[in-house]
Amino acid sequence: MRHIRRPLIVALLCVLIAIFVFGLHEARSDPIVRRAHIVMIGADPRAPSLRVALVSDIHVGNLAMPVWRLNRVVDLINAQHPDAILIAGDLVNGNGARSRFFHPWLLVGPLSRLHAPLGVHAVLGNHDIGSSRHDVDAALRMAGIDVLHDRAERIGPIALIGMDMDDTVRAKIAPVLAQARAMGGFPVLMTHAPPFPGQVQQDIPLILAGHTHCGQTIMPGWDNSWDLANHMWRFPPSLRCGVGHLGRQVVVVTGGVGATTIPPIRINAPPDFWMLTLDGKAR
C-alpha cells in the first residue's frame, strides 16, 4: 500500500504545481483589451463621443500583480488614449489593515502615470473597504485619482455615479442619482460588483462593474460565482463577464487585471479591461 500511495502523492503534487504554474502565467499575461460601442439613448446626439477605459481588480502586491506588472498594465491602458479612466474597485488585497497582503502604497507610483484628459476616477471594492478605506483613499489621492464615495461627477457627456461596495441599494443610490440628474448628462453607475435584478433603479441605463474576475478559475462545473463559505451567489451568474442586461439596463463587467486568491492564479479567465465608446447616436 505504501508503494502505491507514494507515486499517487507525487503525481498529485506534480498536477498541483502544473496548475499553479499555468494559472500564474495566465494571471500575469497582458490583459485583453475588449471593446464595445454603447449608444446612450436619450443623450444629446450632438455631444462628442466619450472613450473610457474600464479597469478593475488590480489587487496590487501579490504574485499576480507585482509593481513591474502594474506599470506594464498602466502602459497598456495609456496606449489606448482614453478620454477618461474608470477603476471599479479592489485595488488592493487583504481583509484588514494589518494583513500581510495589504500594500496600498505600491499603487502610488504606477497609477500616478495614468493619463486621460477627463481624469482618472475610482470607486472602492470589498478588499479596499475591508482592509483600510483611509489608507487606500490616501494612496489614490497621492496618485492623483478622484475617488467617488457615493457621489456623482460630470465627465464629458455623462454623469458618473460612483458607489462604494455594498452601497448599491435604492435608498443610498437615490440621492446620488438626484445629484447626477441635476448635473445633466447621461447617468452611468460605476460600482464594484454587478447588481442583482431589482437592486438598482431602472432609470440608470448603464452600469459598469468588476469583482467577478470573469470566474477567475473556470473548470468543468466550477467557477467563483458561488460563495461556498457563505452559501450565496457572489454576483448574478448571468453577469459573470462582458456585456449583459438587467431588463433595459446595460451592464458591462470587466474581468479585472489582477487576481486575488491564494495562490493568485487565473485559469480560462484571462485578465482584461474594456475600452467603451459612448455616444448619443448610432453609427
Cα dihedral angle (70, 71, 76, 81), rounded to 10 degrees? 120
Low-confidence stretches of the chain (pLDDT beneath 50): none
| Residues 206 and 250 sit within 8 Å (Cβ to Cβ) | yes
2-279 folds as Purple Acid Phosphatase; chain A, domain 2 (3.60.21)
Distance in angstroms (rounded) separating the CA atoms of residues 108 and 126: 20
Interval 146-182: pLDDT, tens: 999 999 999 999 999 999 988 888 889 999 999 999 9
pLDDT value of residue 218 = 87
pLDDT value of residue 282 = 57
The domain ranges of the chain are: 2-279
- Give the distance, in angstroms, between the CA of residue 173 and the centroid of all CA atoms in the same chain: 19
pLDDT value of residue 274 = 98
- Give the distance, in angstroms, between the CA of residue 9 and the centroid of all CA atoms in the same chain: 38
The three three-digit cell numbers of residue 44, written as one number? 444629446
pLDDT value of residue 276 = 98
pLDDT value of residue 14 = 86
pLDDT value of residue 34 = 98
pTM, rounded to two decimals: 0.93
Distance in angstroms (rounded) separating the CA atoms of residues 239 and 218: 15
Fill in the amino acid letter for 29: S
pLDDT value of residue 4 = 65
